[in-house]
Structure 1
C-alpha cells in the first residue's frame, strides 16, 4: 500500500495551486477578510521552519502550538512538520495546570502561543519545565523578554536560508512512519494521553476521504472548529489538497455573520451548530403569525415527504415535486440564503446528529454528511457518501479501513490510519488493542446490510441501572434537546435504580412563556423555583420521550440554572458533554433528586 507524508502534501499542494487559485487561506483582520496566497503560505512556513532550526530545534523535538484556530496555527503546523519536529497541539481553553502537564509529559522544547494571555500561562509554569527553551508569539502585543515574535522568527529564517540549500529535499525525505504529532485527549477520566500519529496515519486518511467527498473547482470552506482537534486539522489538510480555499471564522459565535460574508460551499462543524440553526428556524416560525406557522409546518411536512423519496432512491411524483417547489420558495430558499446561499453540503462529526435535524436540512437542499472517527484513527473511520447518505448512520468505512463489531457490540477497527500508540504509556496502548491487533474504539454500534455503521453510544457512557438494564443516554438527550424550551440535557443513572435527566432551560423561550402566564421572577433561579415553570418543563421533557421503554424513562427532571461550558470543564473543546464532570459538579443536586424520588416511590408503594 502506498504511503505518504504531510510535507509531501504541503509542497505538492502549494506548487499545484500557486497559479490557479487566488489564495490558500483567508482570515478576517481588522474587520476585513485578507487572503494568504499559496506562495505566501509556503514562504512563511519555510522561513518559520528554518527559524526553528536556527533556534536549535532538532528532528524529533516536540514543539507545542497553544492557540485558537487561525491561519498562523496552520502555518506553524507546517513549519514544525518541515523542520521534522513533532507538534503538540494545546487547546487555548485549558488551564495553566493542564497546559503544564502536556508540556511536561511531551517534553516540548518550544511552544507557539497566539496571544499575550496564552504566553502568560506558559511563563507562569516555565520554571517547572526544564526542557522548554523557546516561546514564540503570534501577536506583537505578546512581546516580552524571552519571547520571540513570529515575524522575528520568519526574519531569522529568511536571513539563514542560504545555509539550508537542501531544506525542501530534507523535509520531503521524512519517513511516512515518522511521528508527526502528539495530540492529547481531553482526559475526562484522568490525565490526558498523548496520541501518537505518524505522517502516514494522517496522510492515508486524507487520501481515503478524498475518494468519498465530492470536491470540485472554486470551492470555499468556512472553518470554525479547534485546529487542536484532529477533526478540523485533518479536514484542513484534505480541503487544501483538493484546492478548496479555507476561510477561518472569527469565532464560533460569529459563524452566522461569517457565513453571509464568505458564502462558502462547504461547512464542517459539530451537531451543536446544526441544533442551534434548527432551533432558531423553529423559533422564528412559532413566533410568527398563525398563517406563517401554518405555511412553515406545511412546508416542513412536504420537505420530509420529498426527502423520504430522495433518500430511498424513489422517483418523485409530479404532485410532490410541485408542492416541494412551492415549499422551497416560501421556506427553504430563505434558510439557504441565511447560510450564505452557496452551500453544497455540511459535514458533521464529533457527536451524533439528530435524524430529525438531518432530515430538515436535507429537505432544504442543505445535506449534512455525517461521519465517525476518533483521535486514535486520525480521525475518520466512516463517512456517508454524498450521493447515497443514510440518515441516522455515520456511513460505510472509508477506503483502506476495516471495521467489525465485537460480541459485546464494541466497534473494532484496523487500517493505516490507526495510531502508533499513547506516548510513554505502553500499558494503556496495549489495553486498547485486542490479541489480533484490532483497535477497540470504546463505542457501541451495529452495521446494517449495506455496511453503514450506526452508533449507539460510548461504551463507557452506557448506563447500567441497579436492576441490570442498559440505557444509552445520547439518543434520549438528543430527543429532549429538540424541544424549544431545552438548551441542553444530560441523562444519569449508572448503578442507580432508575435514570434521571438534568435539563438546562432555554431562557429566551421560557421567559416568553412565563410572561404570557403572568409569571414574574427577578432572576433565573427564582424563575426555575416557580411551581408552574417546573411543571411546564417537566411536561415538555416527558412529552419528548413517549416512545421510550419504561426502564429508560427518566423518573425525575432536575433543572440546572447554567449551561455547560468549556471553561467550567463540563464540555470538551468540540462541545461534547463530559458526563463525569457534570456528575461530579452537581453531585449534591443529583443525590438530593434521587433521595426525593426514592421517598416518592416509597410513598406510592406504601
Structure 2
C-alpha cells in the first residue's frame, strides 16, 4: 500500500519495485491475452523513455499519443513522463483535418501511433516534421517501430523530478462548442486529485481490477482507470473491439467500472431482450426466493458481479434508469466534473444515493452558485492552470477572485449535494423573448424507449421543437405506432414544463448522429451547434407544419 500517492509515474514505479510480478496490463487478442507485469511494463517504459528523450529537439516537451485504448497507450503515457515530457493524447476518431489542427496547435514533435481504424485516411494530416513511433498494434509497419526501440535501446537511468507546478499532460476537450482547447494539468493537480479520491474510489481494495474502453484521452477514463488503477497497484484489462466488448467485460469482472449513460441504457436494452419483457422481469423480481438469483445472474452476465464501484458520468443519466438498475442490485454512482477540474467536482455516495442530484461535493473542493447566472463555480487544488497557448480563454475561464467557471447551472443543498439545471451557453432565446434551458427537457425525453438521441432547439421560434433519432426498437415499429407514442409523450411532458418551454413539434430525423458526421463528440455527447446548423434551414418549415409529429 502507498501511504501518500505521488505522480502517476512514481506510483507505477513503486509497484514495479515492490510487486514486480503482479499483473498490470491485460490485452486481449482473439481468445488469448498478452499480459504485462509491473516490472515487464517498466522495462518497456524506460527504454521508450530513453528514445523519446534522445529524439526531443528544440526544447519541445510535448509528445502526442494517437491510439485506441491498449496496453501500449498506457506504457506510452508513462514513457513520456519518464522522459521528462508532457503527454498530449488525441482522440482515435479524429478526421485528417481535426488531427492536423490539434497536432499543430499542441506543438508535438513526436507522435506515438497505435491501434486505429482509419490510419490511411488520417496520416496525411500529420506534419512532415513530426517523428512517428509505431506500437505493435499500428497498421504502419514502416518507420520507427516500438519493438525496434526495445531491441536497440538501453533503459533510461536518470528519471525527471518535476515540480508540482510543472505541466504533466495537456488534455484537449472533446469540442462540444467548437475548436478543442488544450487543458493543462499539473503534477501537483494529479497528486492532489488522486489522494483526495482515495477513499471514495476504493483505491485500497485488494486485487482491484479495472477495464479500459472509453477514450483514454478523456479525463474521466484517464482518472478513473489509468491514474486510479496505477495508484492502487491494480490490474487494467482492455477491450479488443466493439464486438468483443461483452466477452472482454465478462472476463475482466472488474471491481471498478465506469460507463457513460448510453452504455447503461444499452445494457438495459440487452437485459430486457434476453428476459423477454419488463413485465416478466418485474414478476421475477417480485418473488423473494427468485429475486436474488435473478439479480446475481444478470450481474454475472454483464461481468459486474464483483464490481464494488459502478460509476457514470460525462452526460446526464435519467432517474428512471438509475432506479431500474438499483432493482437489479447495481447501485450506479454519478460523478460530476469537467476536464478543467480533472472531473472531480462531486460524486454520489454509494450509501446515500439521492435521485435528482449528480453527487456530493468532494472534500477538497469549494463550490458556489453565482447569484446572477446560477453558474456552478469551484476552487480545488487540482484545477487546471489554464488552456495551452490561449491566455484570453484562460482569463475567461476564471472569475476575478479565482474561481473556475464550469459553464453549468445548478443548485446546491445545505448538505453539499449538487444538481444540474442547464448549461449557461446552451440556453436559447425564443421569439417570445424567453430563455429555455434544453438539458432538463432532454433528460425527461431521453428515458423513452423509442428515443436514442434527442436535441431541443428553438432559437427565434415562438416555442421549442425537439429533434429525435429513433432507437432500433422504434425503427422496427410501424410509423403510426411511433407517432402515437410521441404524441402521448408530448401530452405527458408539456404539462410538467413552463408554458414558454412547451414543445410544439417532435421531428424524427433520418440520419443517426455520430462522431463521423460531427453531431457527437468522441465521448458521445451531442454537439449542439453542429446539430442546429445541420437542420436550421428546416426549423420554420417544420414549425408551421400542421402535424405535431414530423418525419424529416
Please report the TM-score for the alignment, with normalisation by the length of structure 2.
0.91
Please give the alpha-carbon distance, in whole angstroms, between the structure 2 residues aligned to 1:83 and 1:210.
Answer: 27
Distance 1:575 1:239, change over 3 A: same
Partner of 1:12: 14
Higher helix share: 1
Residues 285-337 of structure 1: CA deviation (Å, up to 9, x unaligned): 5x45xxxx54423456x6xxxxxxxxxxxxxxxxxxxx5554333x4233212
Preserved CA contact (<8 Å) 2:365 2:379: yes
Q: Residue 143 of structure 1: CA displacement?
A: 3.9
Distance 1:533 1:590, change over 3 A: farther
Preserved CA contact (<8 Å) 1:413 1:438: yes
Q: What secondary structure, in the 3-state scheme, does the structure 2 residue paired with 1:279 have?
A: helix
Please give the alpha-carbon distance, in whole angstroms, between the structure 1 residues aligned to 2:298 and 2:282.
Answer: 14
Please give the alpha-carbon distance, in whole angstroms, between the structure 1 residues aligned to 2:282 and 2:233.
Answer: 40
Partner of 1:137: 134
Residues 95-134 of structure 1: CA deviation (Å, up to 9, x unaligned): 11111111111111110111476654564144xx47x441
Q: Residue 280 of structure 1: CA displacement?
A: 3.0
Q: What secondary structure, in the 3-state scheme, does the structure 2 residue paired with 1:24 have?
A: strand
Preserved CA contact (<8 Å) 1:370 1:383: yes
Residues 199-243 of structure 1: CA deviation (Å, up to 9, x unaligned): 121221111111312341122222211001111111121122113
Q: What secondary structure, in the 3-state scheme, does the structure 1 residue paired with 2:378 have?
A: strand
Preserved CA contact (<8 Å) 1:224 1:252: no
Q: Equivalences for 1:248-263 in 2 at 5 Å? A: 248-263=238-253
Distance 1:586 1:139, change over 3 A: farther
Q: What secondary structure, in the 3-state scheme, does the structure 1 residue paired with 2:466 have?
A: strand
1:383 maps onto 2:385 in alignment: no
Distance 1:284 1:464, change over 3 A: farther
Please give the alpha-carbon distance, in whole angstroms, between the structure 2 residues aligned to 1:468 and 1:15.
Answer: 64
Please give the alpha-carbon distance, in whole angstroms, between the structure 2 residues aligned to 1:16 and 1:190.
Answer: 45
Unaligned runs of 5+ in 1: 303-322, 515-529, 601-606
> How well do the aligned residues superpose, as a CA RMSD in angstroms?
2.5
Aligned with 1:418 (options 383, 386, 391): 383
Distance 1:262 1:125, change over 3 A: closer
Please give the alpha-carbon distance, in whole angstroms, between the structure 1 residues aligned to 2:236 and 2:269.
Answer: 27
Aligned with 1:469 (options 434, 437, 455): 434
Preserved CA contact (<8 Å) 1:59 1:84: no
Preserved CA contact (<8 Å) 2:450 2:482: no
Aligned with 2:197 (options 209, 228, 234): 209
Q: Residue 414 of structure 1: CA displacement?
A: 0.7
Q: Residue 394 of structure 1: CA displacement?
A: 2.2
Aligned with 1:296 (options 281, 294, 318): 281
**Which is worse superposed, 264-273 or 133-142?**
133-142
Please give the alpha-carbon distance, in whole angstroms, between the structure 2 residues aligned to 1:230 and 1:538.
Answer: 36
Q: Equivalences for 1:403-482 in 2 at 5 Å? A: 403-407=367-371, 408-482=373-447
Preserved CA contact (<8 Å) 2:465 2:505: yes
Distance 1:468 1:324, change over 3 A: farther
Please give the alpha-carbon distance, in whole angstroms, between the structure 1 residues aligned to 2:44 and 2:58.
Answer: 19
Please give the alpha-carbon distance, in whole angstroms, between the structure 2 residues aligned to 1:14 and 1:466.
Answer: 62
1:332 maps onto 2:295 in alignment: yes
Partner of 1:604: none
**Which is worse superposed, 220-229 or 6-15?**
6-15
Distance 1:553 1:361, change over 3 A: same
Q: What secondary structure, in the 3-state scheme, does the structure 1 residue paired with 2:310 have?
A: strand
Please give the alpha-carbon distance, in whole angstroms, between the structure 1 residues aligned to 2:332 and 2:45.
Answer: 33
Partner of 2:181: 193
Q: What secondary structure, in the 3-state scheme, does the structure 1 residue paired with 2:34 have?
A: strand
Q: Residue 90 of structure 1: CA displacement?
A: 0.9
Distance 1:52 1:27, change over 3 A: same
Please give the alpha-carbon distance, in whole angstroms, between the structure 1 residues aligned to 2:273 and 2:494.
Answer: 23
Partner of 1:305: none
Aligned with 1:589 (options 538, 542, 546): 538
Distance 1:144 1:243, change over 3 A: closer
Distance 1:62 1:485, change over 3 A: same
**Which is worse superposed, 352-361 or 242-251?**
242-251
Q: Equivalences for 1:83-232 in 2 at 5 Å? A: 83-115=83-115, 120=120, 123-126=123-126, 129=127, 132-139=129-136, 142-143=139-140, 147-158=143-154, 161=155, 164-165=156-157, 167=158, 170-171=159-160, 173-215=161-203, 216-232=205-221
Residues 28-75 of structure 1: CA deviation (Å, up to 9, x unaligned): 024313321111111111111011123235765111111111111110
Residues 367-389 of structure 1: CA deviation (Å, up to 9, x unaligned): 11111111111221111222323
Please give the alpha-carbon distance, in whole angstroms, between the structure 1 residues aligned to 2:137 and 2:432.
Answer: 60
1:244 maps onto 2:234 in alignment: yes
Partner of 2:268: 278
Q: What secondary structure, in the 3-state scheme, does the structure 1 residue paired with 2:545 have?
A: helix
Please give the alpha-carbon distance, in whole angstroms, between the structure 2 residues aligned to 1:63 and 1:352.
Answer: 33
Q: Residue 486 of structure 1: CA displacement?
A: 2.0
Preserved CA contact (<8 Å) 2:56 2:110: no
Q: Equivalences for 1:41-52 in 2 at 5 Å? A: 41-52=41-52
Please report the TM-score for the alignment, with normalisation by the length of structure 1.
0.83
Preserved CA contact (<8 Å) 2:92 2:116: no
Preserved CA contact (<8 Å) 2:246 2:302: yes
Please give the alpha-carbon distance, in whole angstroms, between the structure 2 residues aligned to 1:261 and 1:417.
Answer: 34
Preserved CA contact (<8 Å) 2:255 2:306: yes
Residues 348-396 of structure 1: CA deviation (Å, up to 9, x unaligned): 1101111111112122221111111111112211112223232332222
Preserved CA contact (<8 Å) 2:494 2:503: no
Q: Residue 452 of structure 1: CA displacement?
A: 0.9
Residues 72-91 of structure 1: CA deviation (Å, up to 9, x unaligned): 11100010011111111111
Greater gyration radius: 1
Q: Residue 593 of structure 1: CA displacement?
A: 1.0
Partner of 2:519: 570
